Amino acid sequence: NAQLLFNQIPKGEPTPETFKYNTENKIDLEQKLDNGAHIVKIICVSLDPYMRGRMRPAEVKSYSPAFELHKPLTGHGVGVVIRAAADSQYKVGDHVYGMVPYQQFVLIPGQQKVDEESKKFLGPQVGLRVIKNEEGLPWSAYIGAAGMPGKTAFMAWKEIADAKKGEVAFISAGSGPVGQMAIQLAKADGLKVISSAGSDEKVAFLKELGADVAFNCKLQSTSHKTDDAKKIFAEHGPIDVNWVNVGGKSFEEELEFMNMHGRLIGGWISAYNGESYGVRNLFQFVAKRLMMRGFIVGDFEASLAVLQQNINAKYVDDFYATIPKKLAFGDLKFKECKYDGLESAPKAFLEMLAGKQSGGFGKVFIQVAAD
Ligand code: NDP
């Protein structure tokens, strides 16, 4: 039962030693199952920037739990139930989505411990959600465009953007799974979209997604890097909705080009490996009456990690009723970047975080097994 273990807390950028691929673990797939238990074969797991934040000492608190040293990493995955106790809430053959340990097979105990408050919002499927996939999407889509990052874009757009036709949106890191969806949602609402990414190939893709203006942030002299970005914002701005995927020094430039009463959706990948850049022009918030709000998708989506908190699942039904169909019909585009086998995960994670995926770009995931 191969696993991807959290091996070492990184200082700054993670390294291959942050992880350990472990082939020693054993699981008895024929064992007797009772009390609602089931065994899931993992098909694919997601690698996401927020996981860098979980690579920290346990005593440092944050919105998502720290990974446990020498235990499997956990995160969003899709699997198929291969065995189920007679009283399990799942059937053999059910495909399920949710937080899972990164290993080939997972024994999941019954859900008796689920608290009543969570059940009220989410129904019985609190831990793992059964995915019917009548749309025939690849299973990986359910951890990407139709999964956590897609939900981040969909829910934050509804919750914070307050978008109006004719306004201007700026979306950094536009070729990642959140950016891809955000660009298309903004276009669907009639906004003009400016977006940036780190290579010419990515920039071409931003245009395919519908971005009106797209630029390569790595070609410029500092972070977004001075003149080119400034010229673009001066010509095509001011920005009404700023999706701050990257943040840092480039954010300082963006603030100068925000419109009055602009809205900003918080993210800050530029600081994930170290100290945050000290933005010097925050007075722009006062002068322009700006509103920025941090957003954590877990506040709006079920996962085992957040069962004990209050979850407001108000967007979940709408998301699953609309987004997978649009992806399947091609009304929304999505691009994925696949790595094969859990042993490829350390390389894949480092490349994803740096934006240098050897196998292309888009939503990075690990294909653990065929479906
Ligand atoms: P992405 O694939 O977009 O994130 C990785 C990309 O970010 C890289 O490919 C690179 O793109 C860019 N990047 C990384 N480091 C830097 C840097 N130092 N400076 C500039 N660009 C950098 O991931 P997602 O689409 O999954 O996520 C986008 C953002 O949304 C992230 O900040 C993520 O943490 C956040 N997020 C927040 C959630 C929430 O609930 N709050 C949930 C999900 C995501 P490029 O090559 O184009 O520069």
Residue listed under structure tokens 């780190």: 198
Structure tokens at 229: 């970005």
Structure tokens at 353: 């975080």
pLDDT tens figures, 165-197: 999 999 999 999 999 999 999 999 999 999 999
What does the pLDDT read at residue 148? 95
Higher pLDDT, 274 or 123: 274
Beta strand 213-216 with 192-197 is parallel
Residue 71 near residue 159 (C-beta atoms within 8 A): no
Structure tokens at 341: 């086998």
d(CA 11, CA 281): 29
Higher pLDDT, 371 or 242: 242
* Superfamily of domain 148-295 in the CATH hierarchy: NAD(P)-binding Rossmann-like Domain (3.40.50.720)
As for the ipTM of the complex, it is 0.98
The preferred substitution site among 143, 269, 273, 363 for testing ligand 1, maximizing ligand atoms within 8 Å of CB, is: 269
Structure tokens at 274: 């170290």
Residue 356 CA from chain centroid, whole number? 17
The preferred substitution site among 55, 151, 178, 338 for testing ligand 1, maximizing ligand atoms within 8 Å of CB, is: 178
Weakest mean pLDDT among 167-176, 235-244, 268-277, 302-311: 302-311
The preferred substitution site among 155, 215, 246, 251 for testing ligand 1, maximizing ligand atoms within 8 Å of CB, is: 246
Supply the mean pLDDT for the chain: 90
By alpha-carbon position, which residue is closest to atom 9 of ligand 1? 355
Structure tokens at 8: 């070492």
CATH topology of domain 3-143+336-367: Quinone Oxidoreductase; Chain A, domain 1 (3.90.180)
Which residue, 143, 211, 201, is CA-closest to 177?
143
Residue 366 near residue 100 (C-beta atoms within 8 A): no
Would you place residue 228 in the very low, low, confident or very high pLDDT band (cuts 50, 70, 90)?
Answer: confident
Q: Is 341 left (phi over 0), alpha (psi -120 to 50) or beta?
A: left
Assess whether pLDDT exceeds 50 at residue 334. Answer: yes
pTM over 0.90: yes
Higher pLDDT, 29 or 249: 29
What does the pLDDT read at residue 41? 98
d(CA 104, CA 363): 21
What does the pLDDT read at residue 125? 39
- Domain residue spans in the chain? 3-143+336-367, 148-295
Q: For residue 213, what is the enclosing H or E element? A: strand 213-216
Which residue, 211, 212, 231, 213, is CA-closest to 221?
231
Instruction: List all residues whose CB is within 6 A of at least one atom of ligand 1.
Output: 48-50, 149, 152, 173, 175-179, 197-198, 202, 217, 245-246, 267, 269-270, 295-297, 352, 355
Q: Which residue type, as a one-letter code, is found at position 39?
A: I
What's the length of the chain? 371
